Structure 1
Amino acid sequence: MAGYFHEVHARFGTEFWVNNPSLPEINLGLDNGAVGIASNPRYVATLLKSEPDFVHKIIDEVLGKKHKNDNQHLAMQVIQKVVSRPLRMFQTRYRESRGRYGHVAIQGNPYTNDDLALLLREAETFHELGENIIIKLPATATGVQALEELTARGWSTIATMSFSVPQYVCMAEAHRRGLERTKQRPRCLITILPGMFDEYLAEDAARRGVNISSDVLGQAGLTAARAAYNIYRQRKYEAIIISGGARSPYHWTELAGGAMAITLSGKLARTLLADSPPVVSRVQASAPGEVVEELREKFPDFIRACDENSMVSEEFRSYGPVVRFQNSLAEGIDTIVKEIQLRRER
């Protein structure tokens, strides 16, 4: 098939994934070369705006089973049912590619993701949803253990909440250890989140009264992503980068050309399809030296993002952008819980 995303994938191996998609956006992905679907606990909150009837029907089905579980447990059941829709729709892509593509991601409850036993128990439930499920785990010390174990079981994974080179390396090594324990070759993708990282640094600058231009800030996340990608290439890790949190088309165009995945909202995907930018590789480009120097001078968390030995795994959970994203994911669960309660009280 012809088309912009097809051409980028055919030429460079850069994978297009759709993030938290509505039904029209799932179909857009299928029609335009998306190889997978990314989702997180904010997925249902997103669909409440675009497809409220679909979400309400699922909530009512869950409530109709007379569960004694609290609303937070019910929220996770709602997420599983919501994710089951793209899971079914991408199954053909999974089978046609012999399991290489067609994965659909699901993530567990952020309120309990520091508990290894609960992470593994959730993963066992998610694994039963379908052959093309891919399980998201936090890029934290707890997530390191969980990812190695799930890899050893032959299950595909995404390490999420990763913003930094040390997180990428730590999770890639965990995946490699897991591969040594199995004859299977499950996929592993590890996030770097440029757009979200830039937002975090902008908030950090505002808190501390740091003067920084938006043009300089806009290079921070891309620089971290490229640093991680260079290590991926040098060490030939099996786990690839999945760049997420895109806020602008340039978060795609500046990383296209790499053997990595990039997630896009339906809105950004439509913009790129309409613009059809040149199919060129930019992943090996770099920000001007003075820009990187300014970022390093003004933001300790930028140094932590780019320098491999800047953090150990026990520090990941308290890393500023990780905390920010964790809180955002928890808000996603809270939104579902509130909606469940409203449906209970009708």
Structure 2
Amino acid sequence: MTLLDDGTKATTPTTPAAKTPATLRAAQQTKTALWNDSADPTELRTAIEEYGAVGATCNPVIALTCIKQDPDTWIPRLRELAAEHPTAGESEIGWLAVEELSINAAKLLEPAFEASGGRNGRLSVQTDPRLHRDADALVAQAVHFSQLAKNVIVKIPATKVGIAAIEEAAYRGVSINATVSFTVPQVVAVGAAIERALDRRAADGLPEQEFGHVVTLMGGRLDDWLKATVKRDHVMVDPGVLEWAGVAALKHAHHVFQQRGYRSRVLSAAFRNHLQWSELVGGDLVVSPPFQWAKDINANDVPFRTDAIDQPVDPAVLEVLRTKVPDFTRAYDVDGMTIEEFDRFGATVRTLRQFLDASAQLDALVRDVLVPAV
């Protein structure tokens, strides 16, 4: 004990206890699961240990980012992979790096996988977007990826070809995460395909287990596309209205899955605003923000309701979206598009092209390691 000059006791200022992060509170209080939209090891550890994350993602875009952010680790490792596979080209070596990132991330998620019986603790690995026209190739790669680790879940695009591949891969025991998916018609079609696969497995006496299937709806990318159509068509809409489109689609998709008893869960991805987390809390679904989004949500202590998923979007907002933005109705209604129309939906075209470009950039990065400029 320290005494001051006047003989009184000195006191040590106390620091208020740190508040539990909002995402962790939501995970503890509801069925809503948090996944981390990155396989970066440092980010993923923080997301797991502090934010309550129980899943993660790896794909060419993420792998490219990880390599660029940590060249001291990855450039020498790419050279080692090239030496270990002397006949491999840049694309094969790039995908070996994706696999290595995925395996390492999957290990960090094993505790959550075991604790949930396989429902969570999943590491998503995305199939090569260059295979998007070949269902058999997508299935073969999905089966290969599923063998990298026991808790791998494989991303296949929610296109006409991709949905056929999803059903066959799920029948073969691959855990599925749909990607390139932005609309209620797409996620419902994927959910139905997974149900058919599970029923086929049961009919053929194949083992029943928790595959942890999820069906992504990239709400932010839907918002991006609708904003682009409004600008293209010179339509004047309150900008705030457009921030609710993806949220509305996600809420509606979740409720359709619940009503139909689908054994897969909707997954919210491609964040553009915190509503794509806070408005979904309480649902038996997955939210998968990029690490920085989760960090910012927690730093700002974004408020949420434990029954937010059941709070409807303002009908006036839905009415504006329906009357002024035709592609919203196509994206929101279960029968808004046929499966044949999925491939030409604007968000699908944009995102598939971005994923293809990321694959090309990853190839180019590896090429610079294998054949450095002189």
By the TM > 0.5 criterion, same fold?
A: yes
Match of 1:276 among 295, 298, 301: 301
Q: CA RMSD in A?
A: 1.8
How far apart in 2 are the matches of 1:13 and 1:57?
42
How far apart in 1 are the matches of 2:198 and 2:27?
26
Matches within 5 A, 1:131-280: 131-182=150-201, 183-185=207-209, 186-280=211-305
Q: Quick one: structure 1 residues 152 and 64, their matched pair in 2 at CA, closer, same or farther if it must change by over 3 Å? A: same
The code of the aligned residue for 1:317 comes to: D
Q: For 1:146-202, what per-residue CA distance to the aligned partner results, in whole angstroms no more than 9, with x for missing partners?
A: 222222222211011111111111111111111112232322111111111111111
- Answer whether contact 2:35 2:55 (CA < 8 A) is retained: yes
The code of the aligned residue for 1:5 comes to: T
Match of 2:316 among 290, 293, 304: 290
The code of the aligned residue for 2:344 comes to: S
SS at 2:344 equivalent: coil
Match of 2:71 among 52, 55, 68: 52
How far apart in 1 are the matches of 2:276 and 2:55?
18
Cα offset, 1:39, TM superposition: 2.7
Match of 2:135 among 73, 92, 116: 116
How far apart in 2 are the matches of 1:36 and 1:140?
24
How far apart in 1 are the matches of 2:266 and 2:274?
18
Where structure 2 has 5 or more consecutive residues not aligned to the other structure, the ranges are 1-19, 202-206
- Answer whether contact 2:146 2:175 (CA < 8 A) is retained: no
Cα offset, 1:3, TM superposition: 4.8
Corresponding residue of 2:17: none
Match of 1:15 among 14, 33, 37: 33
Q: Quick one: structure 1 residues 180 and 70, their matched pair in 2 at CA, closer, same or farther if it must change by over 3 Å? A: same
- Answer whether contact 1:44 1:55 (CA < 8 A) is retained: no
How far apart in 2 are the matches of 1:123 and 1:167?
20
SS at 1:308 equivalent: coil
Match of 2:126 among 85, 88, 107: 107
How far apart in 1 are the matches of 2:273 and 2:59?
20
Tell me if 1:301 matches 2:319.
no
Stretch moving more, 279-288 or 138-147? 279-288
Stretch moving more, 66-75 or 261-270? 66-75
Query: Normalized against structure 2, the TM-score is what?
Result: 0.87
Q: Quick one: structure 1 residues 28 and 90, their matched pair in 2 at CA, closer, same or farther if it must change by over 3 Å? A: same
Corresponding residue of 2:369: 343
The code of the aligned residue for 2:137 comes to: L
- Answer whether contact 1:55 1:82 (CA < 8 A) is retained: no
Cα offset, 1:48, TM superposition: 3.3
How far apart in 1 are the matches of 2:340 and 2:92?
28
- Answer whether contact 2:243 2:273 (CA < 8 A) is retained: no
Q: State the percentage of identical aligned residues.
A: 27
